[in-house]
Amino acid sequence: MIPPSPNHGERRGTQRPDLIVLHYTGMADGASARARLCDPSSEVSAHWLILEDGTAEALVAEDRRAWHAGAGSWRGREDVNSHSIGIEIANPGDRPFAAAQMTVLEDLLRGVMARWGIGPAGVIAHSDMAPGRKIDPGPRFDWRRLGFAGLALWADRISPGDNDLPLAASLDLIGYPPVDPETRLSAFRLRFRPGASGPESDHDRAVAAAVARLSVGESVDRTT
């Protein structure tokens, strides 16, 4: 049996996570990542680690505060670690994610979301809550697949009227922290428009407005 990580503590201000943060490990292999996530001197951890072959290993109990998110915020929550479940996926950051990993991730997300009542808007990238500081799980991660599975937000069909909101307003509604506009745009594109570049565009505004409406709609649905 794999020993759990000792790097965790009590959740602060809440006992119920409402976010799931996805990461890539950024290390050579899953074994190296596991060793680091379980090393007391590293002061980092995650609730789950998905290895290259799709094996999912539980490293920290989900009711505990793992140390995976670091500095950043989402929807005004500054202590993201206390509000979230962290899932690390073994990937150096320079290659696509294995099909076995994505299949297991889908199954894992369904279970975590059901256990804690977390909707698709609560599944975010590390880069979402720490723009400019983190880029994982990066441009090779298949957010569209998760979106079509109902496991994350994704706006695939954009209508002509979807760009009627200023980009800043849409990013506020989605949850991005209030950093400088270029950094926020880069973080948004990394998640929803990988490969896009240049100045802010109508397409950026349209996609952001569509995602914002999905996010707000989910929040309304979950409170009625």
**Which of 90, 120, 153 marks a domain boundary?**
153
**Which of 153, 177, 192 marks a domain boundary?**
153
In angstroms, rounded to a whole number, what is the distance separating the alpha carbons of residues 86 and 40?
17
Worst-scoring range by mean pLDDT, 48-57, 67-76, 201-210, 214-223? 214-223
pLDDT on residue 2: 59
pLDDT higher than 60, residue 125 = yes
Percent of the chain with pLDDT over 70: 93
Alpha-carbon distances, residue 20 vs 90, 108, 117 (angstroms): 17, 11, 11
pLDDT higher than 70, residue 222 = no
pLDDT on residue 164: 74
Torsion angle in degrees (nearest 10) through CA of 45, 90, 32, 72: -40
| DSSP H or E stretch at residue 65 | strand 65-66
pLDDT on residue 223: 45
pLDDT on residue 162: 66
Both tokens of 153, joined, read: 């937000």
Average pLDDT, the chain: 94
Which residues constitute the domain of residue 118? Answer: 1-153
Residues 188 and 217 in one domain: yes
Q: Give me the amino acid identity at 87.
A: I
pLDDT higher than 60, residue 191 = yes
pLDDT higher than 70, residue 221 = no
Residues 30 and 72 in one domain: yes
pLDDT higher than 90, residue 99 = yes
Residues 114 and 18 in one domain: yes
In angstroms, rounded to a whole number, what is the distance separating the alpha carbons of residues 143 and 121?
12
**Confidence category of residue 216, pLDDT binned at 50, 70, 90:** confident
How many structural domains is the chain composed of?
2
Residues 146 and 195 in one domain: no
CATH number of the domain enclosing 92: 3.40.80.10
Residues 48 and 148 in one domain: yes
Residues 136 and 206 in one domain: no
Residues contacting residue 168 through CB under 8 Å, at least 6 positions apart? 181, 184
pLDDT tens digit string along 38-57?
999 999 999 999 999 999 99
pTM of the model: 0.95
Residues 222 and 115 in one domain: no
pLDDT tens digit string along 165-183?
899 999 999 999 999 999 9
Both tokens of 171, joined, read: 């990013």
pLDDT higher than 60, residue 157 = yes
Residues 43 and 91 in one domain: yes
Residues 206 and 146 in one domain: no
Residues 126 and 23 in one domain: yes
Q: Give me the amino acid identity at 12.
A: R
